[in-house]
Every structure is written in structure tokens, then in C-alpha cells.
């Protein structure tokens, strides 16, 4: 993962890289701090999460100065490939994971990472904490099954995915989730789209995109919307406030290691 070979990068990881380069995290939902009470309460947290229609992705980043780590705590809805998406995001931001714990209680996924930048730094400034938090939320939310679903087919070639996503941006559309596979010489993809403000895509916008991509040899068909999480209206990043630089008062490690039997089977579906 740290040194991908040209032409051999995992397709889904490449999608994360394209979306990150497009700075999609800047227009995404503002990150919300982890609820520490739910983070450590186990089964009671799962019961609370079940009462919420949508389990919001939350991120908290704190520095443990004594050991030289930044501690990333995340809670979100549990699903397949969640760990893959999170680690891809951290790796592509040039952070190294030294220790990690991941598990789930009911629908609530809980992750904790001890990280440093490749140059040995932690997460030094409030601006950097905001960026890392927003990038992690974006990486998790990209697989959310909401928005209009379109199915795309084209002869596979170098730069195909980049050309298609650029065309979407030119028409004011954003990607929330993508599934891509290759059959012989043909690339087949399923994309979930919203507008760049998080709203519903209008039919005329889809017609315009279909006409443009047809000139590039790409066929686009609108499929019935898949059930999933409701769209999230995108907001500006909240004003930052001084972060607590003291050693975190609680850690998930001891809690989850005592609950290894309850680790989510979803994480077993991860493919690298």
C-alpha cells in the first residue's frame, strides 16, 4: 500500500485517491467529535445506536505527547470494507499506523488508530486535525448507498475513470459510492451520484452527462435507486477550537481486547 506499482493499484483504492485529489472532503459534512460515552460503553452504545435512523460517522484526533502518537478514534455504521477504506485514507495522507483496534457492537463500528506522519510528526495543528477528520469521514461515506444510481459500460483503457469523473464534475455532480469491475476488455461500473451541494440529481443533468460521455465511447444508464442512508446536505467546516493536548483519559484497547469474540464479521470481508 505504501508504494503502489503503476498499473497494479487496487481499483477501489484508486477511486479513493481520485476523490481525495479532487478535494471532495472539503465540501463534505462537517466532522463531529466521537461521543466518548458511546465509544467505551459497548453493548449499551449499540442499543443507543439502534435507536438512531442513521449512525453518524464521528472522528476525534488527540495527541499522546508522551509516546509521540496521534490517536484517531472513529465511530460509524458497521459495514464491509470499512477497515479497508479507513486505512487507505490514512496511508494516502502519508500516515503510518503503529497500533490499531477495530470492532463492532451491534450496528456501531469502533476504530482506534495510533499514527504518526512518515516524517515522525503527529497531527500538530488544528487545521491538520480538521483535514484528517474530514478526509476520514469522506472515505467512510463514499460507500453510502444513496443518491441516483447509474450503470456505466465502456471499453477499458488508461485514464477512463479519470475522464469520467472529470465529466461529472463539469456538470456539477459528485460521487458518493462506486463499484467497478472488469469483464474481458470491458469496464463496468455502478456509481451513486448527487449534486455538488449534496442534493438530488435532476433528470436533465443526467441527460446532459449521458450525451457527453457517449462521445467518449461510454454508455450510461440510470438504474432504480438503491435503499440506503439518506443524503447529507453538505456544510462548511466548523470553526476550530484549541484541542486538548493532554494524554487521552480513556483508551479503547483494553475494552475491545476483552471483547474479541464480538468483533464484527464484516471486517472479514476486507480484500486488499
Confidence band, pLDDT 50/70/90 cuts, at residue 258? very low
Q: In what order do the strands lie in the sheet with 58-64?
A: 58-64, 69-77, 108-117, 95-105
Mean pLDDT of the region 112-119: 94
**Residue 233: φ, ψ to 5°:** -65, 130
List Cβ neighbours of 251 (8 Å cut-off, separation of 6 or more): 71, 112
**In the chain, domain spans:** 11-29+55-142, 148-222
Domains 11-29+55-142 and 148-222 share a fold: yes
List Cβ neighbours of 113 (8 Å cut-off, separation of 6 or more): 71, 72, 74, 86, 90, 97, 99, 100
pLDDT at residue 227, as a whole number: 39
For the cut 60, the answer to whether the pLDDT of residue 182 exceeds it is yes
Q: What is the average pLDDT value for the chain, to the nearest integer? A: 75
Alpha-carbon span 83 to 259, nearest angstrom: 18
Q: Is the pLDDT higher at 179 or at 95?
A: 95
pLDDT at residue 270, as a whole number: 36
Contact 77, 143 (CB under 8 A): no
Residue 51, C-alpha cell as written in the block: 435507536
Among 3-12, 118-127, 205-214, whose mean pLDDT is lowest? 3-12
Burial of 242 (0-12, 13-18, 19+ CB in 10 A): exposed
Mean pLDDT of the region 53-76: 87
For the cut 70, the answer to whether the pLDDT of residue 269 exceeds it is no
Verdict on whether the full-model pTM lies above 0.85: no
Could you read off the pLDDT of 130-163 as tens digits, one per residue? 999 999 998 888 775 567 889 999 999 888 888 9
pLDDT at residue 259, as a whole number: 43
Q: Which class in CATH covers the domain with range 11-29+55-142?
A: alpha beta
pLDDT at residue 178, as a whole number: 81
Alpha-carbon span 260 to 178, nearest angstrom: 31
pLDDT at residue 9, as a whole number: 66
For the cut 80, the answer to whether the pLDDT of residue 45 exceeds it is no
Mean pLDDT of the region 102-114: 88
Contact 186, 155 (CB under 8 A): yes
pLDDT at residue 112, as a whole number: 95
Pick the closest to residue 169 from 30, 27, 65, 70 (CA basis). Answer: 27
pLDDT at residue 228, as a whole number: 40
Q: Is the pLDDT higher at 252 or at 200?
A: 200
Alpha-carbon span 120 to 69, nearest angstrom: 9
For the cut 60, the answer to whether the pLDDT of residue 50 exceeds it is no
Chain centroid, CA 269 distance in Å: 16
% pLDDT > 90, the chain = 28
Highest mean pLDDT among 6-15, 26-35, 42-51, 162-171: 162-171
Confidence band, pLDDT 50/70/90 cuts, at residue 23? confident
% pLDDT > 70, the chain = 69
User: Is 148-222 in CATH node 3.30.470.10?
Assistant: no
Mean pLDDT of the region 63-91: 91
For the cut 80, the answer to whether the pLDDT of residue 253 exceeds it is no
Amino acid at each position: 500500500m505504501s508504494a503502489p506499482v503503476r498499473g497494479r493499484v487496487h481499483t477501489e483504492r484508486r477511486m479513493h485517491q481520485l476523490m481525495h485529489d479532487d478535494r471532495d472532503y472539503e465540501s463534505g459534512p462537517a466532522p463531529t467529535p466521537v461521543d466518548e460515552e458511546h465509544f467505551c460503553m459497548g453493548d449499551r452504545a449499540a442499543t443507543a445506536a439502534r435507536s438512531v435512523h442513521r449512525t453518524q460517522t464521528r472522528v476525534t484526533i488527540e495527541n499522546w505527547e508522551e509516546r509521540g502518537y496521534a490517536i484517531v478514534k472513529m465511530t460509524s455504521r458497521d459495514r464491509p470494507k470499512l477497515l479497508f477504506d479507513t486505512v487507505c485514507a490514512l496511508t494516502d495522507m502519508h500516515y503510518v499506523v503503529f497500533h490499531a483496534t477495530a470492532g463492532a457492537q451491534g450496528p456501531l463500528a469502533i476504530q482506534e488508530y495510533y499514527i504518526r506522519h512518515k516524517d515522525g510528526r503527529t497531527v500538530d495543528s488544528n487545521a491538520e486535525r480538521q483535514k484528517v477528520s474530514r478526509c476520514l469521514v469522506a472515505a467512510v461515506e463514499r460507500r453510502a448507498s444513496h443518491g441516483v444510481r447509474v450503470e456505466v459500460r465502456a471499453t477499458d483503457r488508461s485514464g477512463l475513470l479519470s475522464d469520467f469523473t472529470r465529466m461529472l464534475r463539469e456538470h456539477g455532480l459528485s460521487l458518493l459510492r462506486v463499484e467497478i469491475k472488469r469483464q474481458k476488455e470491458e469496464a463496468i461500473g455502478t456509481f451513486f451520484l448527487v449534486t455538488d451541494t449534496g442534493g438530488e440529481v435532476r433528470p436533465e443533468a443526467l441527460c446532459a452527462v449521458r450525451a457527453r460521455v457517449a462521445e467518449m465511447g461510454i454508455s450510461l444508464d440510470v438504474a432504480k435507486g438503491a435503499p440506503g442512508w439518506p443524503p447529507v446536505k453538505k456544510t462548511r467546516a466548523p470553526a476550530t477550537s484549541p484541542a486538548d493536548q493532554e494524554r487521552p483519559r480513556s483508551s479503547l484497547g483494553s475494552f475491545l481486547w476483552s471483547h474479541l469474540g464480538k468483533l464484527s464479521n464484516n471486517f472479514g470481508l476486507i480484500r486488499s
